[in-house]
A and B are shown apart, each in its own frame.
Chain A
Amino acid sequence: RKEVEQDPGPFNVPEGATVAFNCTYSNSASQSFFWYRQDCRKEPKLLMSVYSSGNEDGRFTAQLNRASQYISLLIRDSKLSDSATYLCVVNGGGSYIPTFGRGTSLIVHP
């Protein structure tokens, strides 16, 4: 069974903090990895794709560790507007069906 596991949180951090989320996946043949952001009762929106070499977009850094089968998301200098649920999405391994994690809730407080 293909599973994507995330710590549901919530992670409760002050503004300006650095916070990191991990996501593990069970299908070693997985090929594509993403972080989506979902605000309460809204649709998921792509935050960033995750590449083998790691990638950075402003305050956000994503890493992939294929050997240990996990991906990570690092958020630096947290803003109040970063409060949301962060979804790990994994694709591939013989199917294009994306598998979503349950999401990690982040609450950034003043």
Chain B
Amino acid sequence: EPEVTQTPSHQVTQMGQEVILRCVPISNHLYFYWYRQILGQKVEFLVSFYNNEISEKSEIFDDQFSVERPDGSNFTLKIRSTKLEDSAMYFCASNVAGGPSEQFFGPGTRLTVL
């Protein structure tokens, strides 16, 4: 069964450093998403991406964040100048039809900022 994959599973970084989180969505999916979940809190939408451009983003997704689809398979989230409060689980998701249809989540990357 096809699945969304994410690497690394755990990333530890120093405050102020840049990190890149990687995702490989399901191959025939066209819509891609990033979410974050701070420990003990709810899942929060960051950004959606379709046709090589951002389609929607939340208030959380400020200039510190960027997304890219560098090739036909990878979908990346870059966080510049990380802060302690960026520590969270970051989930990538994808779906075929966009918006209200089922989203398939990857296993997540746990980011720890020291």
Contacts and interface: CB of A to CB of B under 8 A. Distances in A.
Interface of A: 31-32, 34, 38, 41-46, 49, 87, 91-92, 95-103
Interface string B16-57: 000000000000000000000000011111001000000110
A87 B45 CA distance: 14
Contacts of B107: 42-43
A87 B107 CA distance: 16
A51 to B, nearest CB: 12
Given A95-B56, A96-B48, A102-B42, A44 B100 contact: no
A100 B49 CA distance: 19
Given A102-B42, A103-B42, A44 B91 contact: yes
A98 B98 CA distance: 11
B103 interface: yes
Interface residues on B, range: 20 to 34
A11 B106 CA distance: 27
A41 B45 CA distance: 17
A92 B98 CA distance: 12
Determine the main DSSP class of A at the interface with B. strand
B48 A97 contact: yes
B58 interface: yes
A101 B100 contact: no
A87 B37 CA distance: 13
Contact of B105 (A44, A95, A97): A44
A75 B104 CA distance: 23
Contacts of B108: 42-43
B68 interface: no
A43 B89 CA distance: 9
Nearest to B6: A43
Contacts of B55: 96
B44 A96 contact: no
7 contacts: A43-B106, A44-B91, A49-B102, A87-B42, A91-B100, A95-B56, A96-B99
